[in-house]
Amino acid sequence: MSNRQRKIMERQAEKNRLLAAAKRSSSTNTNLPTTGENTSARTPFRESELQFLARHPVPDFSLALDFRRPVEELLRDHPKVKRVRLNGGKRLSQFSELFGVKETDVDGQEQKQEEYAYLHEDHPGMIYIPAAFTPVAQRTLIKGCLKEYSRHPNKSNLDTHYKVPTSGLWDLHENVYLNKQSLDDPTVFVPRKADVDNQANGYGSDDDDDDDDDDNEAEAQDSNGKKQENGARPKPSQQHQPATKKPKPSSATNPPQRRAMVPITDETPTVPDNTPKTDPEPSSQVPILPPSQLVRKMRWITLGYQYHWPSKTYHFDQNAPFPKELCILSKAVVAAVDNSGEDERDGGKFEYPYPAEDFVAEAGVINYYQLKDRLMGHVDRSELNKHAPLVSFSFGHSCIYLLGGPTREQVPTPILLQSGDILVMTGPCRSAFHGVPRIIENTLPEYLQKDPTDPEWDIYADYLAEARINLNIRQVYPPKTNTTDTSAE
Ligand SMILES: O=C(O)CCC(=O)C(=O)O
Ligand SMILES: [Fe+2]
């Protein structure tokens, strides 16, 4: 047995031991007492992360809550799940056609076909709308996420180290994909910023590839997951290696491999923090890659108010125009769940209404996950407005989404997030721990795969064959003090 195999087995044995211990001390899915000085046990959130991160053996994904199961079964097997009607019993396409018009709408059945959202008693403030987007609408938004929204002035993780062309990396990729430019043409290789100029005006954090390419990057973090709690960037982690494995920078001018930790308070800030924020220095060691490989290194882009990952605060002076259709869509989601819900038949009651007219899409993150990426547990608490819902769309491969509570001590609920689903986090759920420990292979819906009738889709289908995309939208300012409505409506 190789050292690596032995290490994996030892880790698995440790995980099993801890899982068994956690099960013994917690037979229900409720808050556990805090561990206080306890240094031996991992938190239940961490346990669950480890459970779904494991590669050997493959975790049981059927443990995750699947809101697309037939409703009778779903409500029978999960008594804590409640169903609520969308506001006014309307269909989503009545809030905005950007959701896509479903066949039932086309044949005039819309008044009879109601759409529903789901709540969960352990996660007050969570609202789940399964299959919200039609396949056509999903394709449109996926194109937006890859081609349009990833362009300047929106910033991506790549901007720190690369001089990405203003026309966007995807356009370059498309040119090579469609043989409009050849790999013999040196201009298709995006240069390093450090090589082009010395001006480190890039935004965001490092593309901090972890050199640990086995399945246990998470193990390298604090055993109780404190690293994430203390503010490591919630981001899809980078497990796979660049073509050229880059050495860890050692000089003081190079960006840290891990994002800086900042003290975290339980308080969401209430006033903009305008202290100057320094960006990491561009590295001279990132690999030069063909566009088809560089697009797979794109981890996130930020929309609207740009985010400063090292300090986990917004650049309140950097506000890129927010894509209009996303303003409309997110407001429509808030309208659909605003005041929705009191449905006596189904017993659900939505308790944290937020008036749609107060909702303004001000900041967004698009997370691009490759199959082995994951996003460790975290709370999004940088927004000044802690009441506005956070609206989150999923596309491409399904994932395991862990939704916990206000601390890592609450046992999280694993949810199967699928392409076209919407998750809204509002009320107390806005400060709940959550993360994405696993992208599930072979779950790309057929309608997102290559389609001989639509060759234009090929390039997107190729990308999605190994990816998941999450687009989430937030309101940063409280409605009354908000003076910068970028919704362009
Ligand atoms: O990928 C997801 O579904 C979650 C993303 C997330 O939590 C975040 O960007 O803060
Ligand atoms: Fe998050």
Sheet with strand 399-403: strands edge to edge: 375-378, 434-439, 399-403, 413-417
Ligand 1 centroid to residue 222 C-alpha, Å? 21
Q: Which residues contact 427 (CB under 8 A, 6 or more apart)?
A: 124, 125, 351, 352, 387
pLDDT digit string, tens, across residues 325-352? 999 999 999 999 986 555 544 556 678 8
pLDDT digit string, tens, across residues 6-16? 566 566 655 55
Ligand 2 centroid to residue 288 C-alpha, Å? 30
CB neighbours of residue 146 within 10 Å:
26
Q: Is 365 in the pocket of ligand 1 (CB under 6 A)?
A: yes
Kindly write down the DSSP assignment for every residue of 336-378, as one continuous string: HHTT---BTTTBB-------GGG----EEEEEEEETT--EEEE
Q: Do 49 and 403 touch, CB atoms closer than 8 A?
A: no
Q: Closest ligand 1 atom to the C-alpha of 300?
A: 9
Q: Is 366 in the pocket of ligand 1 (CB under 6 A)?
A: no
What is residue 135's three-state secondary structure? helix
Ligand 1 centroid to residue 356 C-alpha, Å? 22
Ligand 2 centroid to residue 198 C-alpha, Å? 33
CB neighbours of residue 257 within 10 Å:
13
Taking CB atoms within 8 Å and a gap of at least 24, the contacts of 327-330 are: 327/360, 327/361, 327/486, 327/487, 327/488, 327/489, 328/96, 328/98, 328/487, 328/489, 329/96, 329/98, 329/99, 329/391, 330/359, 330/361, 330/391, 330/473
**Residue keyed to tokens 């940063």:** 476
Q: How far apart (Å, rounded) are the C-alpha atoms in residues 429 and 406?
A: 8
Ligand 2 centroid to residue 360 C-alpha, Å? 18
Q: How far apart (Å, rounded) are the C-alpha atoms in residues 88 and 340?
A: 7
Q: Is 470 in the pocket of ligand 1 (CB under 6 A)?
A: yes
pLDDT digit string, tens, across residues 229-266? 323 343 444 333 333 333 333 333 333 233 222 333 33
pLDDT of 58 over the 80 cut: yes
What is residue 165's three-state secondary structure? coil
434 is in an annotated binding site: yes
Find the ligand nearest to 379 CA: 2
Query: What pLDDT does residue 421 have?
Result: 98
Average pLDDT for 114-120: 90
Q: How far apart (Å, rounded) are the C-alpha atoms in residues 381 and 362?
A: 15
Q: Which amino acid is at 371?
A: L
What is residue 158's three-state secondary structure? helix
Query: What pLDDT does residue 319 have?
Result: 83
380 is in an annotated binding site: yes
Burial class (CB within 10 angstroms; exposed 0-12, middle 13-18, buried 19+) of 252? exposed
Q: Say what percent of the chain tops pLDDT 90.
A: 57
Q: Is 228 in the pocket of ligand 1 (CB under 6 A)?
A: no
Mutate to test the pocket of ligand 1, among 237, 299, 472, 476 (most ligand atoms within 8 A of CB): 472
Q: How far apart (Å, rounded) are the C-alpha atoms in residues 326 and 141?
A: 9
* Nearest protein CA to atom 2 of ligand 1, as residue: 470
Q: Which tokens in the block code for residue 239? A: 């497990």
DSSP code, position 333: H
Least confident span in 47-56, 99-108, 210-219: 210-219
Q: Which tokens in the block code for residue 8? A: 């994996």
* Residue bearing the bigger pLDDT, 476 or 274: 476
Q: Is 463 in the pocket of ligand 1 (CB under 6 A)?
A: no
Q: Do 436 and 374 touch, CB atoms closer than 8 A?
A: yes
Q: Which tokens in the block code for residue 293? A: 């490989």
Q: How far apart (Å, rounded) are the C-alpha atoms in residues 329 and 334?
A: 9
Find the ligand nearest to 473 CA: 1
Ligand 2 centroid to residue 378 C-alpha, Å? 6
* Nearest protein CA to atom 7 of ligand 1, as residue: 435
Ligand 1 centroid to residue 358 C-alpha, Å? 23
Average pLDDT for 106-113: 58
Q: How far apart (Å, rounded) are the C-alpha atoms in residues 193 and 199?
A: 8
pLDDT digit string, tens, across residues 452-467? 999 999 999 999 999 9
56 is in an annotated binding site: no
ipTM of this predicted complex? 0.99
Q: Closest ligand 1 atom to the C-alpha of 472?
A: 9
Q: Do 202 and 164 touch, CB atoms closer than 8 A?
A: no
Q: How far apart (Å, rounded) are the C-alpha atoms in residues 300 and 163?
A: 16
Query: What pLDDT does residue 8 have?
Result: 60
Query: What pLDDT does residue 36 have?
Result: 40
Q: Is 436 in the pocket of ligand 1 (CB under 6 A)?
A: yes
Q: Is 373 in the pocket of ligand 1 (CB under 6 A)?
A: no
What is residue 7's three-state secondary structure? helix
pLDDT of 212 over the 80 cut: no
Q: Is 434 in the pocket of ligand 1 (CB under 6 A)?
A: yes
* Residue bearing the bigger pLDDT, 247 or 384: 384
Q: Which amino acid is at 361?
A: A
Q: Which tokens in the block code for residue 387? A: 């009441």
Ligand 1 centroid to residue 389 C-alpha, Å? 14
pLDDT digit string, tens, across residues 68-78? 999 999 999 99
Q: Measured between alpha carbons, how far is residue 315 from residues 289, 306, 319, 363 in Å?
A: 30, 5, 8, 11
